[in-house]
Amino acid sequence: MAVTIRDVAKAAGVSTAAVSKVLHGRGNSVRVSDVRAGQIREIAEQLNYRPNVLARNLRTQRTHTVGLIFENFGSFAAGPLYYMHLLEGVGSVLFKNHYRLTILPELLHDDILGSLGDGQLEGVVWCKLTRDAQTLQLIHDCPIPIVAMNAPAPAEPTDAVFVACDNASGVRLAVEHLAKLGHRKIAFAHEIQELTSPDCLERRDAFHASAKELMGQEPNPADVLAWDWHLPEFAGWWKSDPGYTAIICWSERTAGTLINRATEAGLKLPEDLSIVGFDSTAYCETTTPRLTSVSQPISEMARYATNTLLNLIQGKRPENFSLTFPCGLDVRDSTTCPPPTGPLGPVSSE
C-alpha cells in the first residue's frame, strides 16, 4: 500500500495538518517551525511519499483537468493537420498552466451531462459544437464552463464562449485572389453532403456570395462539387460543365486529394486549373504544386480558447462570448491565371 500523509505524520511525530502545510503549503491557520518543517520534508523524502491526488481532488473539489471533445474522433486520422494543431494549441496552454488534458470520446447525448458533471473536469473545449436546441439546452445545464471552437455562435447569447475563424472573409480572400488572376467561373468542392460540417456550409455560402459579388457569377448547383474522393466522380463533374478554371476547396484535405485526382485526369496544375485550399498548415508545402490556401490561425485560436476557458474556470467573465479570428491567404503555387485559350474541355476519366 502506498505511503500516505498519515504515515509521514506518524513517522515525524506530528499531525497530518503539519505535513500538509509543509509539503503542499495548504492550510491557512497551520503553522510549523522551520526545524519541524525540515524534519518533515526529510522524513517524507525517506519514505518516498507521494500525495494521493484523488484525495486532494475530492477535498478541494478541483482536478486541474480540462476535457477536449472532437465531434468526430472516429474519423480523426482522416483529415490533415488541422486537429493536430488544435490539440497542440490546447495542450500547450494547459500544460503551461499545470492543467491536465483529457480527450473525451464522441458522447451520446445522454452521457454528456454525466461526463461533464461528474466532477472530473473543470471545463471543456468543444470542437465543432453544433447549434441545435438539444445542445443549447445542454450548454445551459452543464455545470462546468464550455468553450466552443469552430462553431458558429448561436443568435441568442449562451453561457458558452464561441471561438471561430471568419469563414466568410477567408473565402472572400480566395475569390478575390482568383478574380484578380482573371478567373471568371469558379467552383467550390467539399466532401459528400452527409459529412459536411457547419464550417463547411458557412464557407460554401460565402463562396456563392463572393463569386456573385466579385465576378458576377450567379449561384448554380453545378458550382458545388460534393465529392466522394474518387476519380470518376471528379471526372464526371468536370465533363458535365468544363467551364470552370478554378476550384476553392472547403479544406486542405479536399484540396490535396483534388490536386491528385486532377493530375491523374491529365490536367496540368496550376496552368489548366487553379486550386485553393483552406487551413494552410505544413501540409500545403508538401503537395505538388504547393497549395495556395486560406489560412486559419488554428493554433492561436486554440490557445485563445484555452486561455479563455482557464479564466472562466477561475470565475473571470470573458470580454467576449464570441470571438472571430480573421483569415489570411497564403499564396503558393497552385493558383495562376486561367488558361489563355479559355476553359479546358473534357478530360479523360482514367
Partner DNA sequence: CAACGTTGATAAATCCGTTAATCGGATCAA
Partner DNA sequence: TTGATCCGATTAACGGATTTATCAACGTTG
Q: Return the number of the residue (43 or 148) whose C-beta is nearest DNA.
A: 43
- Taking the complex as a whole, the smallest distance from the CB of residue 313 to DNA amounts, in Å, to 16
Please, are residues 163 and 331 in contact by the beta-carbon 8 Å criterion? no
**Can residue 72 be called a binding residue for a copy of itself (CB under 8 A)?**
no
Amino acid letter for position 291: L
* Residue 54 interacting with a copy of itself (CB under 8 A): yes
Residue 119's region, left for phi above 0, alpha for psi from -120 to 50, else beta, is left
101 binds a copy of itself per the rule CB under 8 A: yes
Place of cell 460534393: 226
28 in contact with DNA (CB under 7 A):
yes
Q: How far is it, in rounded angstroms, from Cα 20 to Cα 31?
A: 11
113 binds, among a copy of itself, DNA, none (CB under 5 to 8 A by kind): a copy of itself
- Confirm or reject binding of residue 63 to DNA (CB under 7 A): no
| Min CB(117)–a copy of itself separation in Å | 5
What would the grid cell of residue 288 be? Answer: 505538388
Strands (E) across the chain are located at 65-69, 100-104, 123-127, 146-149, 161-165, 186-191, 224-227, 246-249, 274-279, 292-295, 322-325, 328-330
The reply to whether 14 sits near DNA by the rule CB under 7 A is: yes
Considering only 48-56, 166-174, 238-246, 320-328, which stretch makes contact with a copy of itself by CB under 8 A?
48-56
- Contact, 123 vs 313, CB < 8 A? yes
Q: Are 43 and 11 in contact, with CB atoms under 8 Å apart? A: yes
Tell me the three cell numbers of residue 104.
473525451
CA-CA distance, 287 to 58, in Å (whole number)? 51
Candidate residues 11, 16, 73, 209; the one interacting with DNA per rule CB under 7 A: 16
The residue (of 60 and 320) whose beta carbon lies closer to DNA is: 60
Kindly determine how many residues on this chain lie close enough to bind DNA according to the rule CB under 7 A: 36
* Minimum CB–partner distance for residue 60 and DNA (Å): 5
Among a copy of itself, DNA, none, what does residue 81 contact (CB within 5–8 Å per kind)? a copy of itself
> Per residue in 124-150, is it b (16+ CB within 10 Å) or e — as a string?
bbbbbbebeeebbebbeebebbbbbbb
**343 sits near DNA (criterion: CB under 7 A):** no
Could you say which of 1, 108, 133, 155 contacts DNA (CB under 7 A)? Answer: 1
Under 8 Å between Cβ of 224 and 188: yes
From 10, 11, 15, 322, residue interacting with DNA (rule: CB under 7 A): 15
| Whether 281 contacts 80, CB under 8 Å | yes
Cα 10 to chain centroid, rounded: 50
Judged by CB under 7 A, which stretch of 21-29, 74-82, 140-148, 339-347 contacts DNA?
Answer: 21-29
Residue closer to DNA by CB (options 53, 78) is 53
Q: Which residues bind a copy of itself (CB under 8 A)?
A: 2, 50-55, 57-58, 61, 63, 65, 73-74, 76-78, 80-81, 83-85, 87-88, 91-92, 95, 100-105, 113-114, 117-120, 143, 253, 256-257, 259-260, 263, 281-283, 285-288, 290, 299
Q: Which residues bind DNA (CB under 7 A)?
A: 1-2, 4-6, 13-18, 20-21, 23-24, 26-33, 35-36, 49-52, 54-56, 58-61
